[in-house]
Amino acid sequence: MTRLSTTHIMSTKPASVVMGEMAIAAGYGGVGMTMCFADYPAPLLCELWKYFARSVDPSEVYHVRGQAEIRKIPDRVAGLRLVFVHSPSHHNATGWAVEMAMPVDGTPCPRPAILSRGTTGDVDEDPGVTLLLRCDTDERDAIARWLFAGNTLPASFASHAPSVALAVATDPLLSDVYSSRNSEAECWPKRFRDRQVLRGLLTGACLIRSANVGVQADQPLTLSLNDYELVRTHLMSPIVSPIDGQFDELAATMVNRANVYLGVKYGDDSSAQNPFYLPSDSPQQRRSDASAPHPLITRKELADLGNKQSGMVGRLIEYLQRTNEYDLFSRMGFVGPTPRQDNWRQESGASLATSLQGWSIKQVRTHFEGLQKAGLISAERERNNGPWLYALPEEITHHINPFQNLPTVAELRENDSPRN
C-alpha cells in the first residue's frame, strides 16, 4: 500500500519534501517526474530519501548505483514507483532507461519518479520531466527542524496503488496549461520541459489532496485551483532551479555580496566608522595602477558573508545603515522581497540579516571556487581608482525563472471573466 503524505499544506514542511511527494504522486497519474537534489548535505538528503522510500512499498523502490542496475530497469519498471540515482554520472542513462521502457502505444500507466543526487551537466541529454532543487541554508535549516520534530513517517495514502494511471480532469480555468490555447501567453512556461514539470506537479498535488479527502482510485479526480496555488507557491521557492539554464542564483548572490563587502573594505571611506578598513591591507587593491590581487577575498571571508549570524554580516549591514547606502544593501541577496527603503534603517542589523540568502562552506567550493577554476569569475574595476570587484557572465547572473509569471488564482478568474 502506498503511503504518500496526505497533508496538503503544512507551514513546517520544507519545500523539498512537498515537491518530492508531488513528484511521487504524479507517477500514479501517469506523469513520470525526475527531481534532482543538488547541494544537500548527505545526512539530510539520506533522511529525506528514506522518508520518500517509506511512502511506497519496499518492492516498488529501486536503487541505481551502476550500469548493472540500469540494464535491469526495462524488466522491473512496471512494478516500480520510486528510483533513486546515487551518482550524477548515471542520471541521464537512468532517465533514458525508464522512459524507453514505457508502453510505446501510449497506454496510460503509472510511472516511477526518479530522485537523483544531481545531473551530468549535459541537460540536452536528459529525457526526463526534470526539476533541479538547490539546497540553500534556509532550506537546510528547515529540513533539520522538520526532522528534529519527528516528521519521519508518511501518512497513509487513501487507497491501494492502482494498476493503471489515475485519470485527472482539469478545472476550466487551468485548461490552458494542458492545451495549446494561449500557449504564447506570457504567464505560462514556454519550454516543453518546464510545461511538463508544471503539469506533473499539478497532477501530484491533485492526487495527494484527493487521498486526503478519501477519493477512491476509481472515482474521477479534478485538479482544483487550490492544487494550482500550492504548486505555484512552491515553484516560486528559491531552491527551484530550472535544469536547462546556466543561471546560478547562488553564485550571483555570492558575487554581489562579496562586491558590497569589497567596496566597503577598499573604498574611499578611511574613517573609524568603516569596520573593515585597514590602511596596510592589500595595497594592490588601493593602487589605481596595480593589477588585480589574487584572491580578492579569502575563503573565510566569503564563508562568513554567507553566515547570516556572523559578526561580519552584522557589521556590514550596520555600516550601510549608518551611511544610508540602500543601493548597496539591496544587492546583498534576499530570500523574498528586499526590505523597503522607507524603513530599512529603523530595523536592527540582526533582523535584516535573517532575510538574506545564506550559503555553506561547501557551497563556497562548489559554486564560487568552481566558477573561478572554470575561468568564469573575473576581476574588474568600476572606475579607475575604485576597488577591484568580481564579475560573472550575464548568462549566469541574469535569468528569468520560467515559472515566475504564473498567474495567481485571482488573476486566472479575472482573465476568464470576459469569456463568461
CA dihedral 69, 73, 78, 79 (to 10 degrees): 0
| CA 32 to mean position of chain CA atoms | 19
pTM, full prediction: 0.69
Half-sphere exposure (Cβ direction) of 115: Cα atoms closer than 13 Å: 28
pLDDT 10s per residue in the chain (420 long)? 444 444 444 447 899 999 999 999 999 888 999 999 988 989 999 999 999 998 888 999 999 999 999 999 999 998 999 999 999 899 999 999 999 988 777 677 889 999 999 776 677 888 989 998 988 878 988 999 999 988 766 654 434 345 556 677 788 888 777 665 555 566 777 788 888 999 999 999 988 888 777 666 566 778 889 999 999 999 988 888 767 655 577 888 899 999 999 999 988 888 888 999 887 766 666 666 667 777 888 999 999 999 999 999 999 999 999 999 999 999 998 887 788 898 899 999 889 999 898 998 888 888 888 888 878 888 888 777 778 888 877 666 655 567 888 888 888 888 766 555
Burial of 415 (0-12, 13-18, 19+ CB in 10 A): middle
Crossing angle of helices 137-148/42-53, nearest 10°? 50
Distance from C-alpha of 10 to C-alpha of 219, rounded to nearest angstrom: 26
Domains annotated on the chain, with CATH: 15-245 (3.40.50), 249-397 (no CATH)
Give the bridge partners for 116, in sequence order: 36, 85
Q: Name which of 275, 274, 333 is nearest 308 in CA terms.
A: 333
**Which three cell numbers mark 177?**
496549461
| Cis? peptide before 242, omega within 30° of 0 | no
Across 321-358, b (16+ Cβ under 10 Å) vs e yields beeeebebbbbbbbbeeebeeeebeeeeeeebbebbbb
Classify residue 225 by its DSSP letter: H
